[in-house]
Amino acid sequence: MRFRTKISCLLLACFSVAAVACVEHRPLRNGLNDESNYLSKSELTSEGWLYKVTAVKASSPNVVGDLVWPGLESDLSLVNVRFSENSMQILDARRLQHDDSQDPNDDLATTTDRVMVEFKGAHVDVKLRETLDGERTNFLEENTEEPWMRRQKFKIDFEDTSLDPISNFAWYYGDFLKDCAALTGTSLVPNSFEWDPKSQHLSWVVEANYVLTVEGRCYDLVSLAHDVGTASIQYRFSFYRPKSSDYVPEVIGEKDLVNKKYGSFQTLNLFRDHDTGILSAKSLLNRWNPNREEPVVFYFHKGFPPRFKPMFSEIKEQTNEIFAQAGAKLRIDFREYNDGGIERNLGDIRYSFVIWHHDIDTTKGLLGYGPSSADPRTGELISANLNLYNIGLDYYRFMIQDYLEEYGALSRPDADIAWEDTACEEGATVATAADTNRLRSTLFDSMRKVMELDADSEYEVAADEFVPTPLKAETFPDDYHRVLSELRYGNPWW
């Protein structure tokens, strides 16, 4: 009897192993929805994420172009990720005060994390279906048997968020836009979801649709001329956790001369003094790591005009020469957006771009916009973008052309040759047309009254009457810097 029982158990065990083996080798049947996106909670709940939102596309004409346009991006924020029962929450990782475990008088027991934005979703496990008697099938499905905190995946709904995407640029931006346009809906742009566990990068694009309100009056003649009352904006959400580097932050002192002499972009780290409770700040210079071995690469965005690319070869050569003279290892380079077979997208924190915005109806007269993304902890630049706008470049080109035609050279060798076709040698200068009318304008007349100058000047060159005599060339720089205010660009937008 015992022998038969052992044989029966052995056969049953062999049959079970064979059954499992058969299941594992049979083709899987997918019971998951194609539109579902699953995030691994264990990979995202670690700290130290950098977060940025970028407007990457806009409909044309863009009737909300006064507030949001292609290329506009938020500051780089330091965030943590937390999962609640029905949402993924993005938390502000900055702290004005820190809880010191060694100090019993410094207990932040009544302080909680600040939620910046959250995305709705559901906690699930993704696994093969099992029958009631424990047999595993080849049908892949969502499973919710475990408590939500123990489920490994989060099925996120990128379209169901607590804020209008534009609110990520500044806390008041959403309110501004609500004054003139209402958000009618959002949708995930197909094939935009990216998760790269190797480089720790998460990204997706959401398209938001707006309809103008009559009371808001944020529309312009473009909307009236085209009978357009809606706008569509695509926003890229980007999360990146960089590897540790040897970058050494450079702290800018309160009275540092750089605040008077040059001005610089700086990151202000606010905190409260432990002893006094006074709000203070540490100012960190925004800069690339001067000792980085690999070059800072700016990628030409898709659609960048080939005729302008040779200019950037000269920029590269001259800039790298300056770095070399300064003793820095840092170098820059310009490459195509798909260099090496890798598709790179605007808004990805990891990459820097040079972008040409050709559609003149997606923005309102911008010439250029060059935001940079600095790590809030150190001030180190992670990436930067150079946005060039066709409408702005054309506008100022026409203004310069008009100015030169009106106030150009006193004479040309050949009056039949247009000024832009006139040959000239490098370094040569030509006198401008008479500036009598310009120096007799209301502004200069007011200056004469303040300086007690005679309107009928004795100077042959009218501009000479505003130059002090004697000219104190030696002391002028010191005097000039003495009267300058301190320039602080803590926020690049300002």
Among candidates 205, 207, 267, which has minimal Cα distance to 53? 205
The mean pLDDT of the chain is: 84
What DSSP element (H or E) covers 447?
helix 442-450
pLDDT tens figures, 176-198: 898 889 999 999 999 999 999 99
| % of the chain with per-residue pLDDT over 90 | 49
**Residue whose token pair is 């939102």:** 53
Q: Encoding tokens for residue 82?
A: 């937390």
Return the SS3 of 461. Answer: coil
Sign of CA dihedral 319, 323, 324, 325: positive
Could you tell me if 371 and 349 are in contact, meaning their C-beta atoms sit under 8 angstroms apart?
no
pLDDT reading at 436 higher than 80: no
Examine the pLDDT at 421 and tell me if it is beyond 80: no
Amino acid letter, 302: K
Q: Is the pLDDT of residue 39 over 90?
A: yes
Antiparallel, parallel or unpaired: β 77-83 and 49-58: antiparallel
* CA 386 – CA 352 distance, rounded (Å): 8
Task: Give the pLDDT of residue 460.
Answer: 65
pTM: 0.80
C-alpha span between 132 and 205 (Å, rounded): 41
Q: How many whole angstroms from its chain centre is CA 147? A: 38
Question: Average pLDDT for residues 144-159, to the nearest whole number?
Answer: 95
Is residue 241 predicted with pLDDT exceeding 60? yes
Q: Measure the CA angle with vertex 245, ends 240 and 251; round to 5°.
A: 100
Q: Which SS3 state, helix, strand or coil, does residue 265 take?
A: strand
The pLDDT of residue 350 is: 97
pLDDT at residue 13, as a whole number: 43
